[in-house]
Amino acid sequence: MRAFTYERATDPVAAARIVAAKPGAKFIAGGTNLLDLMKIEVETPTHLVDVQDLDLDKIEATPDGGLRIGALVSNTDLAADERVRRDYAVLTRALVAGASGQLRNKASTAGNLLQRTRCPYFYDVNMPCNKRKPGSGCAAIGGYSRQLGVIGVSDKCIATFPGDMPVALRLLDAVVETVDPQGQRRSIPIADFHRLWGDRPEQDTVLNRGELITAVTLPAPLGGKHFYEKVRDRASYAFALVSVAAVIQPDGTGRVAFGGVAPKPWRVEEAEALLPQGAAAVTARAFQGATPTKDNAFKLPLATRALASVIAQAKA
């Protein structure tokens, strides 16, 4: 790990201003992803701004019947909140499916949104990676790609977004709240928060330099039955090969989002209208235009089977 300087922030705008002004500066909260990447020199920040002292750790009701989740609410506290368990059960299920209890105790809401890919070539500093070093190439293209993306990728990068919680947030139409170094606040629909790779795979999100996540807002509850089906290589502490977040209503209609398949949580609203026709109809539309490799083509039928399992559970 390379040497770096460190300070603790006491105000969100001040924290944003410091990171914007200092080249190589980054925010840190729980550090469950950033510190790992620093140890292997994938991330090499010169200055860390610790935001853990900021008053961003509350879960509060909103006037329209939703919830406002502070950026520093831990995954454990969010999953255990009575209102989340009752009204947004898909979120609790997604959170509990991720990592381990110890990591969930430290991992924050904002940090979960900002996870970097787990592509093995991104983690190997001896291999070319456009996300790690723009313009160096993508070793995953033509390499081992079993865990990587099948849709929304580009000829510059085929990595996936690895998280579970944001897949549920995409299903729920969450909104990400931020503040910038000038104190300007904005609200970003979760659908627009993560970028497709295109020609700039090093840019994971639409955040500007120094922009700090302050909260995530959930709209009023959807009702229905909530599911989070995660298919992985082992039963715990593993990232999804394919995950399915779903809310199914009594009449068979609902919403569906997929994880482990794209650079962002993957939801195609037009495909949801096909839910009464079955899983195959939904996934055929949701993955229209998919470009899998020979190593990960299995993800497409796997997504269909995972969704079929969810639909069967909803009817039980």
Query: Residue 1 above 90 pLDDT?
Result: no
Q: Mind spelling out the 3-state secondary structure of 249-269?
A: CCCCCEEEEEECCCCCCECCH
Nearest Cα to Cα of residue 310 among 234, 243, 221? 243
pLDDT, tens digit (0-9, with 9 covering 90-100), for 267-293: 999 999 999 999 999 999 999 999 999
More confident residue, 203 or 236: 203
Q: Are 175 and 212 in contact (CB under 8 A)?
A: no
pLDDT of residue 83: 98
* pLDDT surpassing 90 at residue 99: no
Which pLDDT band holds residue 100 (cuts at 50, 70, 90)?
confident
- Is 171's pLDDT higher than 90? yes
The pLDDT of residue 235 is 85
The percentage of the chain sitting over the pLDDT mark of 90, rounded to a whole number, equals 97
At 302 the pLDDT is: 98
Query: Average pLDDT in the 111-140 region?
Result: 97
pLDDT in tens, 243-274: 999 999 999 999 999 999 999 999 999 999 99
Residue 101's pLDDT band, with cuts at 50, 70 and 90, is confident
pLDDT in tens, 40-72: 999 999 999 999 999 999 999 999 999 999 999
Tell me the DSSP string of 65-85.
S-EEEETT-BHHHHHH-HHHH
The reported pLDDT for the residue numbered 204 is 97
Q: What percent of the chain has pLDDT over 70?
A: 100
Instruction: Specify the pTM.
Output: 0.97
**Lowest-confidence segment of 73-77, 220-224, 235-239 by average pLDDT:** 235-239
Distance between CA 250 and CA 252 in Å, rounded? 5
